C-alpha cells in the first residue's frame, strides 16, 4: 500500500472515530472528568504539600546529598498521579467504546464502575509507567545524547505499550505480562513498525489552529479577554474530542486484533494503519 493509500485509509479511520464520538457524545465526558480530576488532585496534593512543609522541602532540595533524590521523588509522584487519573478514565472510556463497537448499550456509570473494578491493575500500571517516565526524565538531564536516547526509548515504549490498557483490564495478566502481550500483538499482527497516523494529528492540528484563529479575531475586534477565554475553551474542546476519538480508535484496533466486532470500522483499513516488517 502506498503512502497516499495509507493516508486515505487514515482519514477514513479518523472520520469513523469522530463519527462514533458524534453518535455517542457521552464518551466526551471521560476526558473532561479526567482533566478536572487531574487538575484537582495535583493542585490539592502539591499545593497542600508545599503549603504545609514547603520550607522543609526547599531546604532538602538545596541539599547536595538528598536534593536530587527528592527531586526525582517528586517527579515520580507527579507521574504516578497523572498516569493513574488518565488511565482510570481511559479505561472507562475504552470499556464503553468496546461495548458500543460490540453493538451493546452502555452508560457513563457503567464505564466508571468497570474502571473501579480494575483499580488495582490501573494502580500497578501507573507505578510502572511512573517509574519509566522518571528514568527517562533522569536520562534527559544527562545531556543532548541522553535526550536523544530518551526520546527514542520513549517512542519505542509507546509502540510497545499500544495495547496495554485493553490487555490490562480485559485479560488476566500481570503488568509486565501485559507489556509483553501488547508487544506480541503488535509484532504478530502487523510487524514492528507503527506507521504515522497523519490523519489524527492533522485533525487535531487544524482544530487547534482554527481555535487560535477564532480567539485572535475575537480579541482583535471584540474583546481581548473574551478572545483568550474562547480560544482556550475551543482548544480544550478540540483536545477532548481528539482524546476520545483516539481511545475509540484503540478500542476498535484491539477488537480487530482479537477477532471481535469493530462496528463501522473496516478491517482492511485498520490493517493499513500498521506496516508489516519487511
Q: Three-state DSSP class for 194?
A: strand
Lowest mean pLDDT of 25-39, 143-157, 246-260, name the range. 246-260
Which tens digits make up the pLDDT trace of 52-99? 555 555 565 555 555 567 678 888 988 898 899 999 999 999 999 999
pLDDT at 259 over 90: no
Which tens digits make up the pLDDT trace of 136-175? 988 988 888 888 999 999 888 887 888 898 888 888 888 9
Q: 225 in the Ramachandran plot: left (φ > 0), alpha (ψ -120 to 50) or beta? A: alpha
Give the per-residue pLDDT at 130: 93
pLDDT at 119 over 90: yes
Total count of domains within the chain: 1
Mean pLDDT of 238-267: 83
Q: Are 97 and 248 within 8 A, CB to CB?
A: yes
Give the per-residue pLDDT at 274: 59
Distances (CA, A) of 171 to 117, 127, 168, 230, 261: 13, 19, 6, 43, 17
Write the DSSP symbol of residue 27. G
Range of the domain at 48: 3-275
pLDDT at 2 over 80: no
Amino acid at each position: 500500500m502506498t503512502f497516499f493509500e495509507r493516508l486515505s485509509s487514515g482519514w477514513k479511520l479518523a472520520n469513523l472515530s469522530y463519527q462514533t464520538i458524534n453518535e455517542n457524545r457521552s464518551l466526551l465526558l471521560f476526558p473532561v472528568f479526567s482533566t478536572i480530576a487531574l487538575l484537582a488532585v495535583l493542585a490539592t496534593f502539591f499545593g497542600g504539600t508545599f503549603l504545609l512543609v514547603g520550607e522543609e522541602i526547599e531546604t532538602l532540595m538545596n541539599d547536595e546529598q538528598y536534593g536530587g533524590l527528592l527531586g526525582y521523588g517528586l517527579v515520580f509522584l507527579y507521574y504516578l498521579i497523572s498516569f493513574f487519573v488518565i488511565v482510570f478514565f481511559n479505561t472507562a472510556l475504552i470499556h464503553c467504546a468496546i461495548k458500543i463497537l460490540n453493538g451493546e448499550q452502555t452508560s457513563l456509570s457503567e464505564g466508571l464502575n468497570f474502571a473501579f473494578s480494575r483499580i488495582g491493575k490501573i494502580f500497578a500500571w501507573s507505578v510502572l509507567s511512573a517509574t519509566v517516565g522518571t528514568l527517562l526524565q533522569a536520562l534527559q538531564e544527562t545531556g543532548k545524547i541522553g535526550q536523544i536516547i530518551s526520546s527514542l526509548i520513549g517512542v519505542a515504549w509507546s509502540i510497545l505499550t499500544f495495547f496495554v490498557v485493553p490487555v490490562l483490564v480485559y485479560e488476566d495478566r500481570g503488568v509486565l505480562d501485559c507489556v509483553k502481550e501488547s508487544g506480541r500483538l503488535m509484532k504478530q499482527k502487523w510487524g514492528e513498525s507503527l506507521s504515522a497516523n497523519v490523519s489524527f494529528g492533522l485533525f487535531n492540528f487544524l482544530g487547534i489552529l482554527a481555535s487560535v484563529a477564532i480567539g485572535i479575531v475575537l480579541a482583535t475586534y471584540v474583546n481581548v479577554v473574551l478572545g483568550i477565554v474562547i480560544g482556550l475553551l475551543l482548544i480544550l474542546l478540540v483536545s477532548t474530542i481528539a482524546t476520545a476519538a483516539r481511545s475509540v480508535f484503540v478500542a476498535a484496533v484491539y477488537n480487530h486484533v482479537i477477532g471481535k466486532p469493530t462496528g463501522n470500522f473496516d478491517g482492511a483499513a485498520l490493517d493499513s494503519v500498521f506496516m508489516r516488517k519487511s
